Amino acid sequence: MNRSAGSAAQPLPRSATDSRAHLLGLAGALMYVFLWASAYVPSKIGVLDSSPLWFLTVRFAIAGALTLALGFRLGGRLPAVRREWLAIGALGVLGNALYLGFTYEALRHLASGVGAIVASLNPLVLAIVAPSLLGERLTPLKIAGLLLGFGGVVGVMVARAGSGSANPSDVLLAFCGVIASVAATIVFKKFCGGIDLRITSGLQLLAASAVLVVPAAVFEGAPHAMASLRLGAAFVYLIAVISVGASLLWFWLLDRGEASRVSAFYFLTPIFGLFIAYVMLGEPVGARDVGGLLAIALGIFIVQRA
């Protein structure tokens, strides 16, 4: 069910259908954030064991081809006009080539805690520009919820080892990635309405791959990789689960609701990351982590209700 920015800001009748749609959207947002949080470890493997830009180039090319083939199989259609092709190209460049390109370069040296804090600026930056660019209301209550959620992220990450300092140039690279991601969200909301999401996802991944070929060749030369099972597993996971599955889910979520409301769930990314580390690596979870999670959950609740 598509909703314009203006109608999404109005109170909705709480019928059984609306309640199911709300719960479905909530489940989808939580699943997306969990998947995105799970991408950190395989992404770090890709950065350490291969040429990062070439890793992204090949990943986007394969994922784009697979998604496009799936889209055609399911009856998807190509964009009809030049404006749609340009919007999809911009979406791929901003949301994948620049966002993940900057992020992967920053991950060479940036501490994970600082990276999580920088990434969590996404909802705040989007909320600032959404009123003028998307027509979404920025109420005092929504601002309070966003600040509370961001405060919860900072509180958790600052308390953890390795998150207290970082090279300013790496932080700037990570923040440039955030700006690119926000710009991609705006492009999607303003110019991609009515475009087949299955085809859009595949085309924008192929556009990102094409754009990255030149910088990969210039800055990294010939591609290289340390052949290993972990690199292969990381590569397959990032293609199938993140670039194909999570991308389709993200566009579906944006198509259903306000960008600023959906993006607020980004605050949960580091929390899910801690949970994954707890389950897979046995890393401890303390009282500050729980307190940060409660602050984030309350902040997201406030944003959704504002």
CB burial of residue 29 (10 Å; 0-12, 13-18, 19+)? buried
Does residue 6 form part of some domain?
A: no
- % of the chain beyond a pLDDT of 90: 34
Does residue 38 form part of some domain?
A: yes
Does residue 186 form part of some domain?
A: yes
Reported confidence tier of residue 282, pLDDT bands at 50, 70, 90: low
Of the candidates 96, 103, 119, the one whose C-alpha atom is nearest the C-alpha of residue 273 is 119
Instruction: Give the pLDDT confidence of 120-161 residue by residue, as tens digits.
Output: 788 888 888 888 888 888 888 888 888 888 888 777 777 665
- Tell me, what's the pLDDT at 56? 94
Range of the domain at 35: 27-305
46 vs 34: CA distance, rounded Å: 19
pLDDT higher than threshold 90 for residue 272: no
Angle between helices 140-158 and 112-119 (to 10 degrees): 180
- Total domains in the chain come to 1
Does residue 191 form part of some domain?
A: yes
Does residue 161 form part of some domain?
A: yes
Does residue 12 form part of some domain?
A: no
Inter-residue contact 145 to 299 (CB < 8 Å): yes
Does residue 79 form part of some domain?
A: yes
53 vs 107: CA distance, rounded Å: 12
Instruction: Give the pLDDT confidence of 187-246 residue by residue, as tens digits.
Output: 998 998 888 888 999 999 999 999 999 999 999 999 989 989 999 999 999 999 999 999
Kind and range of the H or E element at 68?
helix 52-73
Does residue 20 form part of some domain?
A: no
Give me the DSSP letters along 209-275: HHHHHHHHHHHH-S--B---HHHHHHHHHIIIIIIIIIHHHHHHHHHHS-HHHHHGGGGGHHHHHHH
What's the whole-model pTM score?
A: 0.79
